[in-house]
Chain A
Amino acid sequence: MKTKRQIQKEATRKLILDTAYRVYAEEGFSATTNQIAKAANVSHGTIFVHFPTVENLLICLLERFGSEINKHLHLLSEKDESLETFLAAHIDVLIRYEDFYKKLISDINSLPQDAKFVFINIQSVVSLHLSQVIEREKEKKEIKEIPMHIIFNSWLGLIHYYLTNSYLFSAESVLTEHKDELILNYIKLLENERN
């Protein structure tokens, strides 16, 4: 049984993470802990009671984000899912976190090394599911002989391009607006012509 103090401590930790998520999604990852403390309505020192360094806060936030993506993708993916269903599931998950993810991919190069590793591991979950789907599709001989990492990186490259340059394509959610078009045409690029 948790004490009142423990419950309060966990609630404050969650409040800081939820607020950091919101502030980073709006301002990008150059936002300061002062901004996060203000938005969470806690003192600046409180943040460092829960997270010893800014880097630690960032890593905890990215790990939580990664496990949410992991959970959603896993629940959406079924053993016999098609390539189209999987790609739609991936985009649907990203739409839920679109503003945060957009800032994350724009700022990733300036984040600490450990944060980059968490980001790689987030993508590993996606590449695992995609490679399983592709293997199944290949058994049906419908997919061109392209190395798996090029298939994966082309998909990420495509959606990351639309996200980081969303001003070119949409005034609202670029993924929502272009989801069907991106999926349909990406699959066309991979599939062999049928006779």
Chain B
Amino acid sequence: MKTCIACGMPMKKESDFAMGDTSKEYCIYCAKEDGSMQSFEEKKQSLLNFTIKTQGLDKAIAEKAVENMMRQLPAWKGFF
């Protein structure tokens, strides 16, 4: 099973992939409206907002956790 290179989500169903295109390496949540992949800053901001909204984390902690997660992902290797 493929996993999204930008957030690590497993992609099993067609609807998991960006634009429903199973040849894509990134998921529906990491795609912009035009189907291209979000930039590093866009993804970081959206993960940060999501983590604070759903888990109530302190902003500084959330930022470190998000960076720590992004560091492991193939799409962002060049940013660390």
Contact = CB atoms under 8 A, between A and B. Distances in A.
Nearest 10 interchain pairs by C-beta = A149-B56, A127-B54, A117-B68, A120-B65, A74-B10, A121-B69, A117-B65, A131-B54, A148-B54, A127-B55
B55 A124 contact: yes
B36 interface: no
A120 B55 contact: yes
B40 interface: no
Interface string B62-73: 001100110010
A145 to B, nearest CB: 14
Given A70-B10, A149-B55, A149-B56, A114 B68 contact: yes
A40 interface: no
A131 B51 CA distance: 11
Contacts of B53: 131, 148-149
A123 interface: yes
Interface residues of A, number: 25
A75 interface: yes
B57 A120 contact: yes
Contacts, number: 57
B9 interface: yes
A154 to B, nearest CB: 11
Nearest to A130: B54
A79 B51 contact: no
A71 B10 contact: yes
Interface in A119-147: 120-121, 123-125, 127-128, 130-131, 147
Contacts of B61: 120
Interface of B: 1, 8-10, 12, 15, 50-57, 61, 64-65, 68-69, 72
Nearest to B56: A149
Interface of A: 63, 67, 70-71, 74-75, 79, 114, 117-118, 120-121, 123-125, 127-128, 130-131, 147-150, 152-153
A63 B72 contact: yes
Given A127-B55, A149-B53, A152-B55, A75 B68 contact: no
A88 B69 CA distance: 27
A150 B52 CA distance: 11
B68 A118 contact: yes
Contacts of A67: 8
Nearest to B69: A121
